[in-house]
């Protein structure tokens, strides 16, 4: 593969970097403190076409590719982890499944508003008793005439309080082997019986909306079923494979921000009559940080490239998500260490990177699940 970016990919990267520096980064500290979702920022992102990067123009998108999208997530995440997570979830989870598996009618009705930035989407998978074990989904959808009636609940759902539509996974019956059939259904958030509650007091990513969803006799047309009703489980596994690329990119962005802060501080901070960047102990930390970030970025881009080429990318996306998320944690931790006591203070920002990075090891499949996914690809 060729890691040389195309002119279009560089243009998108520079455009998003410039926007993130001017519009996103200045708000990062405030939204972390207040837990306020940056509504206006997402409106501007929509107007610039950032929310539609990986989708064709015919569906309201920008006609870019997965590499361009990964570069954009990194730049947004570098400026603000909270905004980066909501951006990644809106595109990879809220909109992409409709593009991958939706009918032409579903794409026209539901994907266009999401890709054009007119609305946000969400993906309701996790439940109180179905996290890593997504097959244990208890939310149930029963066909009643021409409608599905859905009952259940979801938790830890990104963007749900601000989304126009949510793709909900639900148990719809048994297959010939007696196993649960998990299907995906598009649910407009204004459907009667559908409600959300904000989950607050998070450790990090506090400006990203996290919600509980409650579905009480929610009725949607049977035409809202997404893709093959018997392949809902494999469909959301494919969705998660793509989502792991974006979480890997977001992790790289957080790590890059932490590294740049640490490097600048090391050059400015004087001890024993000289900057601490001249001490080998600090130099080695910075060298390891830079190396791991570059390796993580390369793995994210490799997974994105494979996806763009239509090649299998599940193992590589798990590599990317696992290594990049753990890199973000290590780099953020070392950035605090380089700052010493100042690193423990919110004034110096680096403590936020560590708090934000922790979710990277949990969301879109924990580090333990990534290792399980990788082992299965190895034939274990």
Catalytic annotation, residues? 364
Segments in 58-208 forming alpha helices (H): 66-79, 81-88, 96-101, 104-106, 112-115
HSE value, Cβ hemisphere, 13 Å, CA-based, for 350: 28
Alpha-carbon distances, residue 202 vs 82, 120, 130, 143, 187 (angstroms): 11, 22, 20, 37, 26
The secondary structure element, H or E, covering residue 14 is helix 7-19
186, 220 contact by CB (below 8 A): yes
Cβ contacts of 74 within 8 Å, gap of 6 or more: 249, 250, 252, 253, 256, 297, 300
Taking the C-alpha atoms of residue 353 and residue 333, their distance in angstroms, rounded to an integer, is 9
- Which residue(s) pair with 148 in the sheet? 143, 220
Residue 355, both tokens = 């708090």
Full 3-state SS string of 41-90: HHHHHHHHCHHHCCCCHHHCCCCCCHHHHHHHHHHHHHHCHHHHHHHHHH
116-to-9, 59, 90, 205, 354 alpha-carbon distances in Å? 19, 8, 12, 25, 33
Distances in whole angstroms, Cα of residue 9 to Cα of each of 53, 68, 70, 204, 324: 10, 5, 10, 30, 21
Query: Angle at the Cα of 169 (from 206 to 65), degrees rounded to 5?
Result: 70
Q: What is the DSSP letter of 4?
A: P
């Amino acid at each position: 593969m060729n890691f040389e970016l195309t002119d279009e990919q560089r243009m998108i990267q520079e455009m998003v970097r410039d926007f993130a520096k001017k519009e996103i980064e200045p708000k990062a500290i405030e939204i972390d403190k207040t837990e306020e979702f940056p509504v206006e920022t997402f409106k501007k992102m929509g107007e610039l076409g950032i929310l539609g990067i990986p989708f064709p123009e015919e569906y309201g998108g920008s006609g870019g590719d997965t590499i361009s999208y990964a570069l954009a997530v990194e730049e947004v995440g570098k400026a603000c982890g909270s905004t980066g997570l909501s951006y990644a979830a809106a595109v990879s989870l809220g909109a992409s499944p409709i593009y991958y598996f939706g009918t032409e009618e579903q794409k026209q009705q539901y994907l266009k508003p999401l890709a054009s930035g007119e609305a946000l989407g969400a993906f309701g998978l996790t439940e109180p008793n179905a996290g890593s074990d997504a097959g244990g989904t208890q939310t149930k959808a029963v066909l009643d005439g021409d409608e599905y009636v859905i009952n259940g609940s979801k938790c830890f759902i990104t963007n749900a309080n601000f989304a126009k539509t949510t793709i909900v996974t639900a148990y719809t019956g048994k297959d010939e082997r007696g196993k649960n059939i998990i299907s995906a259904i598009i649910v407009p958030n204004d459907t009667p019986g559908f409600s959300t509650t904000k989950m607050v007091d998070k450790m990090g990513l506090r400006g990203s909306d996290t919600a509980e969803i409650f579905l009480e006799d929610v009725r949607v047309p049977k035409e809202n079923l997404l893709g093959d009703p018997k392949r809902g489980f494999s469909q959301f596994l494919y969705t998660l494979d793509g989502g792991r690329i974006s979480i890997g990119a977001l992790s790289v962005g957080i790590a890059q921000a932490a590294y740049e802060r640490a490097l600048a501080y090391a050059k400015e901070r004087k001890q024993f009559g000289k900057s601490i960047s001249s001490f080998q102990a600090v130099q080695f930390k910075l060298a390891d940080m830079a190396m791991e970030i570059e390796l993580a970025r390369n793995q994210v881009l490799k997974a994105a490239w494979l996806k763009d080429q239509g090649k299998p990318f599940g193992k590589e996306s798990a590599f990317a998500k696992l290594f990049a998320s753990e890199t973000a944690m290590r780099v953020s931790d070392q950035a605090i260490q380089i700052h010493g006591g100042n690193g423990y203070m919110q004034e110096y920002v680096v403590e936020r990177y560590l708090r934000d990075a922790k979710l990277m090891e949990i969301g879109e499949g924990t580090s333990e699940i990534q290792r399980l996914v990788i082992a299965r690809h190895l034939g274990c």
